[in-house]
Amino acid sequence: MTGNSYPFSFLDQTVNILIVSSSAENIAQFKSVLKSFPIFSLSSAETLQDATTIMAANRIHICFLDLCINETKAASSTFIRSITNNTVCNGFSTECSATRVITSVKNGILEVINVSGGLQHTPEFTSLLCKSIIVALFYPNYRWWHDDMVANVINTLLTLPKATVSAWAMKAGISATRLRTVCETKFSCSPKYISFFYNCYSLVLSYISRGGESEKKSLSEAAVLKEEFKLKCYFHSNYSSFSYLLKGTKTAHK
């Protein structure tokens, strides 16, 4: 969708996702679930070489990698290590060995999801999408075991229904000044801007996940549209700052 056909259309195709699997069925499942979110631009590859070629030519924010792909363990490990400084890589598996999963996480996989029963559009998957977007935009080489403070800051942000700097700092158990220092040091960005993007993406993911039906949401349709208008105005008034974060996407070239 483009234009003003749905709330948050100003975020249309601002997140590029690559699905990598030797199984056409797995790729189709991911595309079927993710295509309902117009904020995503989707591409796919059936080999690691094809994936590498795509990533060399395009900015990919999030990669969903089949850990059971028909490639050697060494090739998979090399691929993961080669992309995780710039891209958030999530693994998925149907019957992959525990050893391969553990190795993948050590190599830089953010999360591993089990799709043995097919990919399900669950609240947990929506939460993973939100986390992946924020990490991809601000700290793509994040590893939860590297820095307890950063992990605390990221994880507490994801629990907030609506983030403000003061609420975020309080939830994390630190001062607003300390939060600002962590964000500017680790994320190279003000917590105000990180909060803004979190509020945008968490609300649009929730809105679309629930089908846009007001009776199914904690917020009424009118409240969502009012919030969307405020966020859109802030987005456009600070576009020069945000366009850098969204480089390599459709919106950044408008």
pLDDT digit string, tens, across residues 42-75: 999 999 999 999 999 999 999 999 998 999 989 9
Q: What is the reported pLDDT for 211? A: 65
Mean pLDDT of the chain: 87
How is residue 230 written in tokens? 């405020």
Model confidence over 145-176: pLDDT tens digits?
778 899 999 999 999 999 999 999 999 999 99
Give residue-wise pLDDT tens across range 7-29: 788 999 999 999 999 999 999 99
Residue 5 — very low, low, confident or very high, per pLDDT cuts 50/70/90? low
The full DSSP string for the chain is --TTSSTTGGGTT-EEEEEE-S-HHHHHHHHHHHTT-TTEEEEEESSHHHHHHHHHHS--SEEEEETT-SS-HHHHHHHHHHHTTTSEEEEEESS--HHHHHHHHHHT-S-EEE-TT-----HHHHHHHHHHHHHHHH-TT--TTT-HHHHHHHHHHTT-SS--HHHHHHHHTS-HHHHHHHIIIIISS-HHHHHHHHHHHHHHHHHHHTTT-GGGSSS-HHHHHHHHHHHHHHHHHTHHHHHHHTTTSTGGG-
C-beta pairs of 181-184 under 8 Å, 24+ apart in sequence: 182/149, 182/150, 182/153, 183/153
Average pLDDT score over residue span 79-92: 94
Please report which confidence band the pLDDT of residue 2 belongs to, taking 50, 70 and 90 as the band edges.
very low
pLDDT tens by residue, 214-229? 344 455 778 888 888 9
Question: Contact 129/88 with Cβ under 8 angstroms?
Answer: no
